[in-house]
Structure 1
Amino acid sequence: MDEENKLQFPCLPATKEDLLVSALAAVSTAAEILPGLFLGPYSSAMKSKLPVLEGQGITHIVCVRQDIEANFIKPNFPHTFRYLVLDIADNPVENVIRFFPKTKEFIDSCLATGGKDGWMVVFTFHPQIANAALVIAYLMETFGMKYRDAFSHVQERRFCINPNVGFVHQLQEYEAIYLAKLTIKMMSPMQLGRSFSLQAGMPGSRKRSLEEDEDFGAMQVTAAQIS
């Protein structure tokens, strides 16, 4: 890819230690992953925590639950905070990737306001369910991080995260998916056509080029499905 078309990502912001300590004390056992983005258990957003949440400036909440928990894990303050409720099974075969775009859009809309006008918490009833996977995927796509680096960043701030093996594999696969999606978005139709022409014109490589075209097309379809 030309230097001018090289993918550009923002630098991962650092949280100041004194602010992190204050946030941990203020939002129960939730941890600040990025400035304004907290990850925690259900207890960090239950009814008794309303004064704490309001005092900390929380405006948005992602509620991650299994569908069988819908009767008791629900938005507690629908008139106070903006909620995103996701029913995600704690099952290795659950397709968690399909929730990544919606979650990223929700987090971006919150954090774009900046400061305490846009703070949020992502919580779940079970530590091994998908809330950590959603935050890891957000870091990967927003800051161009590899899965291992994003996982380490989150785990350093909330050590008890434990996404199941199926979610881990999907996060590892998502690294290639989001990079392909961004690459396609940045390339013009002319550049895409030129790329295919160069591959097709290489001596002795026509069969391989056709196979690569099919793989590239599959990535386009996948990217379109999750966008």
Structure 2
Amino acid sequence: MSEKESVLPGLYVGNYRDSKDSAQLAKYKISHIVAIHDTARRLHSDKHYLCVMASDSPDQNLSQYFSLCNDFIHAARLRDGNVLIHCLAGMSRSVTVAVAYIMSATNLSWKEALKVVRAGRAVANPNLGFQKQLQEFETLRIIEERRRLKERYPSLALVKQDEDQCALMLDNYEQLLLSRNICEGRCSMGEECPTGVCRTAPTRRSRRRSSRSQTTDGVSRSPSTSSLRPRSGPAGLRSYTGSAPPSRSGSRVDISQAGTSESLTAPVTPLNSPPVSPKRLGALQISSQVTLKEVAGS
């Protein structure tokens, strides 16, 4: 990781390995960590943590935690803290939270904010469900969230530097796009993304072509595996002081008053599973009993 990989001054996005690397955290003076994944927990007793329990699923509701994460990140940066936002791979969940914060702290749209993050971390690629949540956040809630953030944190200390940094990152993004060192997730079916950003499966034709290319001179060769893992260095460390509680109307957690030993945790939003009808359940039980009797008889 390097300074050029920061998303905004004092704001970084990385993966789980980055969050465990004490030497790297010390090098970049990370004081706050936002951990957002299925088993988010505090790893370093000397850091402020915000732990959000969330899966990398399109059905996972991340938008309910945007305001809480914004408060945690913004308060830390205003106090000259450095924040690392991380999930497991540093591609989807952490990127979504970073984009939501950048949208709230600046006047950028969600697509522009995503470009800012990608300019620092090329593998940034929220799943389609999270992209839809960011779009809805921009359409329905962003004006109110920007107003709320300014009222709660009236300081203008970050405004100018964030505007300048965003403009620089957007310019860098265009240069990376032209040099084919980054893409917008639009690689053709069957074509390998140059950065590993795309999650596009190859077509049948490309798979056949690949299969043929592995057999020459009557010798069958095992296909080589191209790694789609993100780059080792994070593009912006993200920090979190605890875990977000379940969303409740009118509830508020004052992150600005949290101490170094305090931690918050947000549970995973349960996914709905279809119930099994009584008739179906009875049929399954009868079938199971018959099978057991047949096995016993044999």
Give the TM-score range, shorter chain: 0.5 to 0.7
Structure-to-structure mapping, 1:101-180, within 5 angstroms: 101-114=67-80, 118-180=81-143
Amino acid at match of 2:137: Y
Distance in 2, Cα, partners of 1:128 & 1:113: 27
Amino acid at match of 1:87: M
Query: TM-score if structure 2 supplies the norm length?
Result: 0.47
Q: Is residue 2:43 matched to residue 1:76? A: yes
Give 1:144 shift.
1.6
Instruction: Find the counterpart in structure 2 of residue 53 from structure 1.
Output: 25
Amino acid at match of 1:75: R
Provide Cα deviations, 1:189-219, integer angstroms capped at 9, x if missing partner. Answer: xxxxxxxxxxxxxxxxxxxxxxxxxxxxxxx
Provide Cα deviations, 1:95-127, integer angstroms capped at 9, x if missing partner. Answer: 11001001000001110012xxx0111111134
Structure number with the bigger relative contact order (C-alpha 8 A, sep ≥ 6) is: 2
Distance in 1, Cα, partners of 2:145 & 2:2: 36
Give 1:65 shift.
0.8
Amino acid at match of 2:96: A
Distance in 1, Cα, partners of 2:19 & 2:147: 39
Distance in 2, Cα, partners of 1:111 & 1:76: 21
Instruction: Find the counterpart in structure 1 of residue 15 from structure 2.
Output: 41
Give the total of aligned pairs. Answer: 152
Provide Cα deviations, 1:44-66, integer angstroms capped at 9, x if missing partner. Answer: 111xx213312321100011111
Provide Cα deviations, 1:5-45, integer angstroms capped at 9, x if missing partner. Answer: xxxxxxxxxxxxxxxx7436xxxxxx310011000111111
1:226–1:184 CA distance, 2 compared to 1 (3 A): farther
Distance in 1, Cα, partners of 2:251 & 2:106: 18
Distance in 2, Cα, partners of 1:74 & 1:55: 22
Distance in 1, Cα, partners of 2:251 & 2:143: 12
Amino acid at match of 1:44: D
The SS at the match of 2:13 is strand
Query: TM-score if structure 1 supplies the norm length?
Result: 0.61
Distance in 2, Cα, partners of 1:86 & 1:183: 22
1:165–1:61 CA distance, 2 compared to 1 (3 A): same
Provide Cα deviations, 1:143-177, integer angstroms capped at 9, x if missing partner. Answer: 02111111111111101011110000110111122
Distance in 1, Cα, partners of 2:99 & 2:72: 15
Give the RMSD, CA atoms, in angstroms.
2.3
Does the 8 Å CA contact 1:98/1:226 hold for their aligned counterparts? no
1:92–1:75 CA distance, 2 compared to 1 (3 A): same
Identity %: 24
The SS at the match of 2:6 is strand
Which structure shows the bigger proportion of residues in helix conformation?
A: 1
The SS at the match of 1:84 is strand
Uncovered stretches (5+) of structure 2, i.e. residues with no partner: 149-248, 253-298
Uncovered stretches (5+) of structure 1, i.e. residues with no partner: 1-20, 25-30, 186-223
Give 1:180 shift.
4.1
Which structure is larger by alpha-carbon Rg, 1 or 2?
A: 2
Does the 8 Å CA contact 1:38/1:120 hold for their aligned counterparts? yes
